[in-house]
Amino acid sequence: MTPLILIVEDEADLVTLLRYNLESEGFRVAEAGNGEEALVLVKEETPDLILLDWMLPMLSGIEVCRQLRRRPETAEVPIIMLTARGEEGDRIRGLECGADDYVTKPFSPAELIARVRAVLRRARPGLDAETLAFDDLVMDLTAHRVQRGERPVHLGPTEFKLLRHFLQHPKRVFSREQLLDAVWGRDIYVELRTVDVHIRRLRRAINNGTESDLIRTVRSAGYALDRPQA
C-alpha cells in the first residue's frame, strides 16, 4: 500500500519540487492550493500524512490544522507544518493546534523526506511490519494468520484485507466509499452495502460474543477499529 501525502501549499514551485521528490521516493501525492480545497480533498481520500503550509491564502495553516483535527476522518492523520517563520512561539502554536512536526523553510527535500518517514513510522508502526496488532488482536501478514488473544480467528480473503486496512490505521474512521477503494480497489464496481455485509462478517469473526467489540460504527461517517468507549 503506497502512502498518500497531501501537500497544502500555494507556492506552485515548491509544490512541484515536493511532488517530484515524494513521488520518486514512492509516495502518492495529492495537492491543494489552499485550505478550503484541502478540506474538500480529504473527504475524497484520507491522506496518510499532510504537509501543511502555515501561510496560505484565506484560511491560515493553523486554522486548517484545527479543522482537520476536529473531523473524525482526519483527527489522527499526521500533519507536518511548513513555514518560513522560525520563531519558537510559532512552533509552539503549530504543535498546539495538533501538528505532529514542524519544518522551517528553506529546507532540503532530503530533510523533508526524512521527517515524513519518521512521522509516518511513528503514526503507523504497522506500515512496514510483518505483524500488525491492536488491543489483543494480532495479524501475522507472512503466515496470513489472525489471533484474538489465544483464539485463532478465521477470516475470508475480503475480511482479512479489511482488517489489515483497519490495523494499518487504528482508530481512524473510514467511510464505506474509502473502504471500497482501499479493499476492493477503485476500478471494481461494488455496492456500498457490500461493505456492511463484510464488516458484519468481520465483526462476528473477531468478536465471539464475550469479547469487546473492536469495530466501531460511527453513524453517517463509517467504521473504525477502536476500543469500545467506557
CB of 153 to Ca ion, least distance (A): 48
Q: Is 103 in the site for Ca ion (CB under 5 A)?
A: no
Backbone angles phi, psi at 51, to 5 degrees: -95, 115
Q: Cis check for the bond before 57: say yes or no (omega within 30 of 0).
A: no
CB of 56 to Ca ion, least distance (A): 6
| Strand, helix or coil for residue 144 | coil
Q: Is 135 in the site for Ca ion (CB under 5 A)?
A: no
CA distance 35 to 223: 26
Pick the stretch among 3-11, 113-121, 162-170, 208-216 that binds Ca ion (CB under 5 A): 3-11
* Pick 53 or 73: Cβ nearer Ca ion: 53
User: In Å, how far are 10, 103, 208 from 119, measured between CA atoms?
Assistant: 23, 12, 35
Give the contact letters, 12-51, x = binds to Ca ion (CB under 5 A), - = no.
----------------------------------------
Pick the stretch among 5-13, 91-99, 167-175, 210-218 that binds Ca ion (CB under 5 A): 5-13
Q: Is 53 in the site for Ca ion (CB under 5 A)?
A: yes
**Residue 46: alpha-carbon gap to chain centroid:** 6
Q: Using an 8 Å Cβ cutoff, are 35 and 8 in contact?
A: yes
CB of 10 to Ca ion, least distance (A): 5
- In the list 4, 30, 55, 141, the residue contacting Ca ion (rule: CB under 5 A) is 55
- Alpha helix ranges (H) inside 45-191: 61-70, 88-96, 109-123, 157-168, 176-179
* Pick 56 or 202: Cβ nearer Ca ion: 56
Residues near Ca ion (CB under 5 A) are 10, 53, 55
